[in-house]
Structure 1
């Protein structure tokens, strides 16, 4: 299991659901890349409404179903792992926004309660 220190970073990648890389949804490709590189974990969140740099509103409202809803991929790991990962995936993100912020990791556990618990 990947060990993660208390002083980590949160990587957020805001993209559209319709964005692709090698004919695969970009969010799925990013998660697979994170897993293959031994990142601590990744989560994909699907938004119900949003807009980006092009100012087009994407929504799940009944009268206007969007096929390009906002998606956020969140990954928490060490600052070094996040930076290396960003360099590896940079070419695939052709639109969207990427943010990085400090994250204090209090617990990182696998099923069965195994894992790392940092002290407060």
Structure 2
């Protein structure tokens, strides 16, 4: 498991939900490449409303359904590892926004096993 504490770099990629890479969702390709690159983690968040350079508002509101809601992919790791990953984004992201933020990792822990499995420790979420 990757250990990550202290100073880190947060990479956020804003794209549209319908953006694709070789007939697959672009967000999935970015997450799989981040995993293959050994980055500490990546998450995808689907927005309910937003606009970008096109100035078109995309929304999930019932009366104006959009097929291209905003999506944010967030990756956090050391600055060196995140910056080494950036050339892959140059290849993948044709339209969108890529930003970097300095951050501090306070706690980064994984789950050994699900509660109830042999040797598993953990707290149940409500």
TM superposition score normalised by structure 2: 0.86
Task: Trace 1:55-66 onto structure 2 (pairs within 5 A).
Answer: 55-66=55-66
1:12-39 residue CA offsets vs partner (Å, 9 max, x unmatched): 0000001011111110100000111111
Are the equivalent residues in 2 in contact too, given 1:17–1:25 (CA < 8 A)? Answer: yes
The structural deviation recorded for 1:4 is 2.1
Counting matched residue pairs gives 113
| Distance in 2 of aligned mates of 1:24 and 1:112 | 31
Aligned residue number for residue 79 of structure 2:
79
Are the equivalent residues in 1 in contact too, given 2:7–2:102 (CA < 8 A)? Answer: yes
Structure 2 SS opposite 1:8: strand
- Unaligned segments of structure 1, at least 5 residues: 114-120
Are the equivalent residues in 1 in contact too, given 2:5–2:106 (CA < 8 A)? Answer: no
- Unaligned segments of structure 2, at least 5 residues: 114-126
The higher radius of gyration belongs to: 2
1:61-97 residue CA offsets vs partner (Å, 9 max, x unmatched): 1112111000000000000111111112211100010
Are the equivalent residues in 2 in contact too, given 1:48–1:60 (CA < 8 A)? Answer: yes
Aligned residue number for residue 117 of structure 1:
none
| Distance in 1 of aligned mates of 2:3 and 2:87 | 21
Structure 1 SS opposite 2:108: strand
Aligned residue number for residue 54 of structure 2:
54
